[in-house]
Structure 1
Amino acid sequence: MREDHMKAVKEIIASVVKNNINLVAENWLDEFILATDQSAQLVKVFVMLPRKTGKLPVAITDDQQEALHAAGFGYIRNWTIDRLARVWLLAGFDLGDKELFFSTINRLFLSAEVNEAVALYSALPFLAHPEIWVKRCAEGIRSNIGSVLQAIMENNPYPSGNLDEAAWNQLVLKAFFTEKNISLIVGLDQRANLDLALTLIDYAKERWAAGRKVNPQLWRLVGKFINAEIFETLKTGLQHYDQIEQRAIALAISASGYQPAKDYINTFPELKLALADGSLNWNSF
């Protein structure tokens, strides 16, 4: 994201924060921002912040929401004020010295309780030196805490913009395992890849073998990579007579260049019609 664009987003967030806290809390935050020893004070301020701001849902004006939505950060409206204020605090924190900056923020990660961890991972798109947080993000994917995983996986542009393919694939697979909202993963379609598709197909086979359903969004990540081998698996899914799964597989095949799969779908009149009239899309599931 361009630096001037992110600066504008941070300014909107600052105005939202100030509209949601009282003057005492605002003055307290301003004192920290003007302090010469920010590095020494950050842990204390970060931990104490909810006591100053409260924990109510964020109130956002229509103009602010429109601007945030246009910038890709409209999801902030679902946060609480302490989470947003912590993110804003970290977004404006930059010591100039990259190593000192990393060690200071990393201390927060190492000692964070759940709500603090949620704010820290939510702040990843806004932190200075985005390249130094890749390992920390990848480590966060191994968490077993649902709200922490949501902060990393859902409505967060940092992973798709910074993780390597292996870590990205692990994020997506973990999202399926832990039943997160797959449609909220930023960059899902753009970062689809063959290794991920093959891994997800194996996962689908395991679900079928256990008599369990497969999240229809899984097939979204398979469509572009359909070949003869993958097609055999899709035929198995189409023969399960689960209408949702059939429709998802049909939609995946429509994104494929593999003609035998397209021809096969045409033998299912209902699926052929659904694809032809345009009523089928990934938001349908």
Structure 2
Amino acid sequence: MYAYPVQRLKAIITQIVQQQVNPEVWSWLQQQESLAGGIAGFNKTFVLIPRKTGKSVITLSAEQSDAIQQIRPGFSLAGYTIDRLCRVWLLLQQDGISEADYLKNIDNLFTAAEVNELVALYGALPLLAYPRKFTARCAEGIRSNIGDVLQTIICDNPYPAEYLEEAAWNQLVLKAFFTEKDIDRIIGLDKRTNKPLADTLCDYAHERWAASRTVHPQLWRCAAPFINAENFGDIQRAANSTDITEQKAALLACYNSNYQPAKTLLHQFPEINNAIQSGKLNWHTLAKEELATV
């Protein structure tokens, strides 16, 4: 049913909610808990929550954040507003109903949701019961042109890497590049990279170059395990770029490749090679450098 110990998560999220809302709001939420199984009452409560709670950003202790990570790895409440948190809390109150009713309730929410409700729902995908039942919903969200929805699915969300099939996963990564999301915040990016994705991204790099446009440095991260004779010329071009960030990315790709010519190329740049070998330069530090130049 759930892929993690849901009762433990319910307990800590309940604690956080109680700390963030006043007694009157908490009393109202408890009254709504009894309606969580009924479709009409559940939908109404989900919609009404912001009017009752407001939309202030919540505060978490380090202990609470760590506890959530231990219970549901990859999931975080960082940056959540109180209404979004309470919607997650409400979703977790449905653990006692049948699978059919549960899926119907969630489906109805997605169908009728406005943007903020969609953000709450897509952000909660890692917490829902019967997680494999929502892959089509996730893929649908990836096709969305709503920025906040895409951000919620793509960044800091463990669900896509855990459950999407390869084609949908590749579409997520491509959409992240097309819409200029923070690629380093895609959970599972390195684990789920694959040759079809690498090939498509190399083709995308060619299109960017042909249009005299820059190539996102993290693109070479996805290509790294699949560097071969066919695409090595692309790596060489990036490694000799006048853009130091692109150069570092190409050489990081060489470091993460088993292709011998790539290893040889890396050693032609001793300063960057030393930074990589020492751990001072990796994909995460490179991403921070990118953000600093924006």
TM range, normalised to the smaller chain?
over 0.9
Q: Please, which moves more after superposition, 15-24 or 117-126?
A: 15-24
Match of 2:25?
25
Task: Confirm whether residue 43 of structure 1 aligns to residue 43 of structure 2.
Answer: yes
Structure 2 CA distance for aligned equivalents of residues 2 and 115 of structure 1: 24
Percent identical: 48
- What is the Cα-based RMSD across aligned positions, in Å? 2.0
Task: Confirm whether residue 141 of structure 1 aligns to residue 168 of structure 2.
Answer: no
Match of 1:284?
285
With the length of structure 2 as denominator, give the TM-score of the two structures: 0.90
Which structure has more RCO (C-alpha within 8 Å, separation ≥ 6)? 2
Task: Confirm whether residue 10 of structure 1 aligns to residue 10 of structure 2.
Answer: yes
Structure 1's unaligned 5+ residue stretches are none
Task: Confirm whether residue 244 of structure 1 aligns to residue 245 of structure 2.
Answer: yes
Task: Confirm whether residue 198 of structure 1 aligns to residue 199 of structure 2.
Answer: yes
Structure 2 CA distance for aligned equivalents of residues 255 and 117 of structure 1: 37
Contact 1:208 1:214 in 2 (8 A): yes
Note the C-alpha offset of 1:92: 2.4
Change (3 A) 1:76 1:121: same
Structure 1 CA distance for aligned equivalents of residues 172 and 74 of structure 2: 20
Structure 1 CA distance for aligned equivalents of residues 276 and 46 of structure 2: 51
Match of 2:60?
60
Note the C-alpha offset of 1:34: 2.2
Note the C-alpha offset of 1:37: 5.3
- 1:192-236 CA distance string (max 9 Å, x none): 111111111111111122222222111111111111112121112
Structure 1 CA distance for aligned equivalents of residues 37 and 241 of structure 2: 63
Task: Confirm whether residue 87 of structure 1 aligns to residue 88 of structure 2.
Answer: yes
Match of 1:228?
229
Structure 2 CA distance for aligned equivalents of residues 37 and 161 of structure 1: 27
Could you say what secondary structure the match of 2:181 adopts? coil
Could you say what secondary structure the match of 2:230 adopts? helix
Q: Please, which moves more after superposition, 117-126 or 259-268?
A: 259-268
- 1:40-95 CA distance string (max 9 Å, x none): 21110000001111111102233213323444357313110001110121122145
Q: Please, which moves more after superposition, 97-106 or 184-193?
A: 97-106
Question: What amino acid is the match of 1:7?
Answer: Q
Task: Confirm whether residue 129 of structure 1 aligns to residue 130 of structure 2.
Answer: yes
Question: What amino acid is the match of 1:120?
Answer: L
Structure 2 CA distance for aligned equivalents of residues 189 and 138 of structure 1: 20
Structure 2 CA distance for aligned equivalents of residues 209 and 151 of structure 1: 32
Question: What amino acid is the match of 1:278?
Answer: G
Change (3 A) 1:64 1:274: closer
Q: Aligned pair count?
A: 285
Structure 2's unaligned 5+ residue stretches are 287-294
With the length of structure 1 as denominator, give the TM-score of the two structures: 0.93
Question: What amino acid is the match of 1:228?
Answer: A
Match of 2:151?
150
